[in-house]
Amino acid sequence: MELQPLYESRRDWQKDFDSYLKENRTLAYMMLKKSGEFKGKTALIQKNSNNEWESISWDVFGEKITAVAKALIDLKLQPGEMCAIFSQNRAEWAISDLGILATRAVSVPIYATNSKEEAEYIINDAEVKILFTGDQGQYDKAKAIITSNSHLKLIVAFDKETKITGNDSIYLDDLIDKGRKLTNNEEFNSRLDNVNPDDMLTLIYTSGTTGNPKGAIHTHRSFMNGIYPSYMRFPEATTDFVSLAILPLSHVFERMWSYGCMSYGIQIAYCPDPKQFIDVMAHVKPHFMTSVPRIWEKVYGTIHEGLKTAPSIKRKLFNWATKVGIKEYRKKIATGKGQTGFKYKLADKLIFSAVRAKLGTERCNVYHIGGAAFAPEINEFFQAFGINIIQGFGLTEFFPVCVGYRDTGKPAYCGPVIPMCSVRISDEGEIQLKGGMCMSGYHKKPDETKACFTDDGWFKTQDVGELIVEEKHGDQLTFIRITDRIKDLIITAGGKNISPQQIEVLLGDELFVEQFVTIGEGRKFISALVVPNFVILDEYCQKNGITYSSKEELVKNPQIIKLYEDIIARRTESLGRVEQVKKFTLLTNELTQEGGELTPTMKLKRKAINEKYKLNIETMYEE
């Protein structure tokens, strides 16, 4: 199918959006309207308790949303009151979320991996009245909270297998059955019809890399303002398309993308655990997906590690095909023409198609990535293989900014910027934003809200970067290159500003490295904390006759230290002298959210890491 130019620059976006908002009004209203429009078609796909794939039709989806809403109204949930969802990705997450919103209440996501204390902080800050939980662990944390909490009144458990106790707990199935039997249709319709686009839709809590998380207030209008210009970039999508939800729905990226897809009738398949990625991809074969670079870095690393033991002829053929693919992709980026010649078609038939089939990416339209830097050479590799991965950009407070489509991907850049979003670079180099998809502010934090904006009303991202504008598909498209994160910049004792991400991304696809943290604030040189991939490292030891009795013994072995010296030196040879890693320490334990070193979105809590591993760090700087 030949795709027609979108000519985004020729549209009156505000006028079109006003018409769209008038028709669809709010997120809940729109989804219930769509449940009638797409009646009988598949809405959601997931594995059931028997590990079997099952689908939920749009009419069943809409009926369950309505039942949840009617039951919550019967429980005296009032407009503006808060409910929270504490669960992994699953259909029940969306059903409950939209059921809450249909009552004019506010839905507050909590990361499935959060501790009891982290969940309790959000429940107290948002004054959550009703909490929906996923598995037994989340229910148990909720139960421990509710016993002495002045806000939380009811826990709704998604799983029938969860053991619940007391009058303060109910199963979601029972709540839905109750809603089906209620006769409060008049009140339900009144609530749904009177939801205002400027009503609060959600509080999405930031990941909290430097302290307690803050609740970003989004309205129905700000969510719809993000969805509308994004999904308009995909007119080719149909109800046969599938989007895989692998990022947590508690993250603004996955939640807004999933709802944008639903507004098209695109099916949503749920992956509750990223460790199931390959198996789920093979079954679902998604057209769309959002993810973080780490997933694709590991796939890239696994492919190249496997080549080391492949027959020589296979390695040579693979390397030839890769060179052809990258050359053709670069040609396509530069001229708009490429990936069509005889050599490319032969490489595709012999190598690329087999890799896509193995990964379940045969139907890839666009796979969006975000949340961290993505090495351009890895991006080019997948593009060469016909896997259209494009880097997006946005923040919890302002989402989205960049949404890629068709062949607009540009390795090393995020983009293109969506219509209705304005971007500028401040005199200090900071990326600043303005648009209707911006949050209203932080919940109960007026000072922090004020600090996020310039005097003339632009949102301060704290990202440093640059803009480029290119002509493509009849439009002037803007791309953003993020070079630094203001808060994360390392300033050495010599006064040099160094981006830790620039160093860390070079190790992203290294199979021997599980985690890598750049150290150097106020120091004479750059060092690192390195968590080895002990599974890969054990295989290496077996092949090389290295014996050990514990991880502690292994990381002190001179042969292992030399191995990592060589890996780090090879991977970072492109860096300037002052950016080179002079020393490193191999750690025996992974950095985790439970240990306080990572956020729920797997971002490094650098201050906490520096404090926890202070002795290790000081040792590296001893004369």
pLDDT tens for each residue of 504-547 = 999 999 999 999 999 998 899 999 999 999 999 999 999 999 99
Q: In what order do the strands lie in the sheet with 215-219?
A: 169-171, 154-157, 128-133, 82-86, 106-110, 200-205, 215-219, 441-442
The answer on pLDDT for 18 being more than 80 is yes
Q: Percentage of the chain surpassing pLDDT 70?
A: 99
pLDDT one-digit tens code per residue, 564-574: 999 999 999 99
Q: What's residue 601's pLDDT?
A: 79
Are the C-beta atoms of 125 and 215 separated by less than 8 Å? yes
Q: Which two three-digit tokens encode residue 278? A: 């390959």
Region 376-396: what's the mean pLDDT? Answer: 96
The answer on pLDDT for 207 being more than 80 is no
Q: pLDDT band for position 57 (50/70/90)?
A: very high
The answer on pLDDT for 137 being more than 70 is yes
Q: Exposed, middle or buried by CB within 10 Å (0-12, 13-18, 19+), for 99?
A: buried
Are the C-beta atoms of 438 and 227 separated by less than 8 Å? no
Q: pLDDT band for position 175 (50/70/90)?
A: very high
**How many CA atoms does the CB half-sphere of 280 hold within 13 Å?**
21
DSSP of 178-203: HHHH---HHHHHHHHHH--TTSEEEE
pLDDT one-digit tens code per residue, 465-479: 999 999 988 899 999
What domains sit in the chain, N to C, each tagged with a CATH number? 27-195+238-272 (3.40.50.12780), 288-487 (2.30.38.10), 489-620 (3.30.300.30)
Q: What's residue 603's pLDDT?
A: 84
Q: pLDDT band for position 163 (50/70/90)?
A: very high
Q: Which of 47-56, 244-253, 596-605 has the lowest mean pLDDT?
A: 596-605
Q: What's residue 600's pLDDT?
A: 84
pLDDT one-digit tens code per residue, 320-335: 999 999 999 999 888 8
Region 223-231: what's the mean pLDDT? Answer: 97
Strand partners, 267: 242
My answer on whether omega of the bond before 400 falls inside 30° of 0, hence cis, is: yes
**In 3-state terms, the chain is what percent helix, strand and coil (to 5)?**
40, 20, 35
Per the prediction, the chain carries an average pLDDT of 94
Q: What's residue 2's pLDDT?
A: 67
Q: What's residue 489's pLDDT?
A: 78
